[in-house]
């Protein structure tokens, strides 16, 4: 799209979101939802997106009342071709938020939980399943452990074995729009990002190593991984050139099966894309039948709430509490981080049994980074922030309201609902 894009690495897709100049009415609605001020255009004139500033979140897309914003990448037909190719094992990786939204595309009520139906339809068209909730649990193990290492380093001066320890506060890193936001606007805070990859980017290498060799018994190079995401920024994330770790890992052991690096995640479909794929393949979602997802679809309640704002924090606290105190958190629900307030904060005091000392952990949860995150980042840079762990999700409400989800308030339906009001004279 833009050959001279400056804020993109070689191989990355520059700009996932575009505005169709023929359809845009210049109503200015999209600007209010954009977290980075990437949209330019006067009221009444055709608007356009600055790809250097854009973080690919898709919030403008799901909120444009005229449906004039589109995704530049559509791989539904590619995935269908892969599904029909018998020499390829296509692994679908559905994110938490997909199972409470895809039903809406088939006439079900908002928020219907349809995990089993989704598995059923996916199996029917030929997907193997690696539930992204499984890697959400894995993320908690990795990111939670990383947090404990960072906290013990900061509080007790504990040294980590062999790798450098990042500073506090630790930021979550599962939202690629947020990661790109830090990378483009606050690069000095990059060390605060958790080094844990997002659940999608853990799932890719997992499928091509452990999944291929131990579970499906297929050559790694014949695995085709498809992230199924509520998110447009995930399409960008998958194209980051460093995410070919399965290839490099296998190469060392002589098991890569190819001399050209392959990506950890081959392609990404949004929730809307997956619904379109089912429709194209003539699957009646509501009648596809319910099935289990197989060995890599096992997940816990902590993994599934990753799609909600506050969910990653709540899941991390449940596990950190157990690791530090030896006991399970009671009750498991951690209410202060729930709900739709832009910034939520809480403190937890617990006993670190290893050191026999009480520690108080201050956490914050930010959703909808537009207007909410900057004051916090300024404080961190000034050294006056008291937070230790901060969860950030770009989209208001979290991934359940991601840019790849079924469109509710946008599209012409939103406008049509208001039109009768103009009818009076």
Partner 1 sequence: MKEERYQYEESPSYVSRREFIAISGIVIAILALPAVWIRSAVVKRNSYIRARLNGLYKDDAGSKVRVSHGNSGVAKLYKDFAGHPLSEVSEELFHTQSYVNRTRI
Binding residues for ligand SF4 (CB under 6 A) = 17, 19, 24-30, 33-36, 38-39, 47, 49, 54-60, 64, 66, 68-69, 175, 177-178, 230-231, 233, 393-395, 398-399, 402
Residue 146 annotated to the active site: yes
Contact positions with partner 1 (CB under 8 A) in 325-364 = 328, 332, 338, 340
Query: Considering CB distances under 5 to 8 angstroms, the limit depending on partner class, which of partner 1, ligand SF4, none binds residue 346?
Result: none
DSSP state of 212: I
* Cα separation, 159 vs 179, whole angstroms: 27
Cβ distance 34 to 370 under 8 Å?
A: yes
Closest CA to 183 of 311, 380, 6, 414: 6
Q: Minimum CB separation from partner 1 for residue 159, in Å?
A: 14
Contact positions with partner 1 (CB under 8 A) in 198-257 = 201-202, 205-206, 209-210, 214, 240, 242-243, 245-246, 248-249
Q: Minimum CB separation from ligand SF4 for residue 16, in Å?
A: 7
Q: Can you name the residues that pair with 352 across neighbouring β-strands?
A: 357
Residues in the chain: 425
* Cα separation, 258 vs 300, whole angstroms: 35
Query: Considering CB distances under 5 to 8 angstroms, the limit depending on partner class, which of partner 1, ligand SF4, none binds residue 96?
Result: partner 1
Q: According to the binding rule CB under 8 A, does residue 196 interact with partner 1?
A: yes
User: Chain centroid to CA 188: how far?
Assistant: 23
Residue 174 annotated to the active site: yes
Cβ distance 41 to 48 under 8 Å?
A: yes
Q: At CA 127, angle to CA 125 and CA 129, rounded to 5? A: 140
110 to 149: interface string for partner 1, x by CB under 8 A: xxxx-x------------------x-xxxxxxx-xxx--x
Query: Considering CB distances under 5 to 8 angstroms, the limit depending on partner class, which of partner 1, ligand SF4, none binds residue 70?
Result: none
Q: According to the binding rule CB under 8 A, does residue 195 interact with partner 1?
A: yes
* Cα separation, 105 vs 101, whole angstroms: 8
| Half-sphere exposure in the Cβ direction for 42 (13 Å, CA) | 2
Closest CA to 118 of 275, 305, 304: 275
Q: According to the binding rule CB under 8 A, does residue 299 interact with partner 1?
A: yes
Closest CA to 16 of 238, 170, 330, 313: 238
What does the block give as tokens for 70?
């589109």
Q: Minimum CB separation from partner 1 for residue 382, in Å?
A: 20
Q: Minimum CB separation from ligand SF4 for residue 200, in Å?
A: 9
Q: Minimum CB separation from ligand SF4 for residue 88, in Å?
A: 27
Query: Considering CB distances under 5 to 8 angstroms, the limit depending on partner class, which of partner 1, ligand SF4, none binds residue 26?
Result: ligand SF4
The catalytic residue positions are 143, 146, 174, 194, 234, 237, 242, 399
């Amino acid at each position: 799209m833009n050959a001279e894009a400056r804020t993109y690495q070689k191989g990355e897709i520059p700009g996932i979101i575009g505005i169709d100049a023929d359809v845009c009415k210049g109503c200015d609605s999209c600007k209010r939802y954009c977290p980075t001020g990437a949209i330019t255009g006067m009221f009444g004139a055709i608007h356009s997106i600055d790809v250097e500033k854009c973080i690919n979140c898709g919030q403008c897309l799901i909120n444009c009342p005229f449906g004039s914003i589109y995704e530049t990448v559509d791989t539904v037909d590619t995935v269908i071709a892969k599904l029909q190719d018998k020499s390829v094992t296509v692994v679908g990786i559905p994110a938490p938020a997909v199972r409470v939204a895809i039903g809406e595309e088939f006439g079900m009520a908002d928020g219907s939980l349809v995990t089993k139906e989704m598995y059923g339809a996916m199996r029917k068209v030929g997907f193997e399943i690696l539930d992204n909730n499984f890697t959400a649990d894995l993320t908690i193990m990795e990111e939670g452990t990383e947090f404990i290492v960072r906290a013990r380093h900061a509080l007790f001066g504990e040294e980590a074995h062999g790798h450098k320890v990042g500073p506090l506060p630790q930021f979550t890193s599962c939202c690629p729009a947020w990661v790109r936001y830090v990378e483009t606007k606050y690069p000095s805070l990059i060390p605060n990002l958790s080094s844990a990859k997002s659940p999608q980017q853990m799932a890719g290498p997992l499928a091509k190593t452990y999944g291929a060799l131990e579970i499906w018994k297929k050559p790694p190079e014949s695995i085709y991984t498809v992230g199924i995401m509520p998110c447009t920024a995930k399409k960008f994330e998958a194209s980051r050139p460093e995410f070919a770790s399965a290839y490099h890992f296998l190469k060392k052991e002589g098991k890569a099966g190819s001399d050209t690096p392959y990506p950890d995640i081959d392609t990404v479909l949004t929730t809307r894309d997956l619904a379109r794929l089912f429709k194209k393949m003539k699957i009646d979602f509501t009648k596809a039948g319910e099935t289990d997802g197989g060995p890599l679809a096992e997940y816990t309640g902590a993994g599934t709430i990753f799609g909600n704002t506050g969910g990653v924090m709540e899941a991390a606290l449940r596990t950190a509490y157990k690791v530090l105190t030896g006991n399970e958190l009671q009750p498991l629900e951690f209410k202060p981080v729930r709900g739709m307030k832009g910034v939520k904060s809480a403190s937890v005091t617990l006993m670190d049994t290893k050191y026999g000392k009480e520690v108080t952990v201050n956490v914050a949860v930010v959703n909808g980074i537009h207007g909410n995150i900057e004051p916090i980042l300024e404080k961190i840079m000034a050294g006056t922030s008291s937070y230790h762990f901060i969860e950030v999700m770009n989209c208001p409400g979290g991934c359940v309201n991601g840019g790849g989800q079924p469109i509710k308030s946008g599209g012409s339906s939103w406008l049509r609902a208001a039109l009768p009001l103009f009818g009076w004279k």
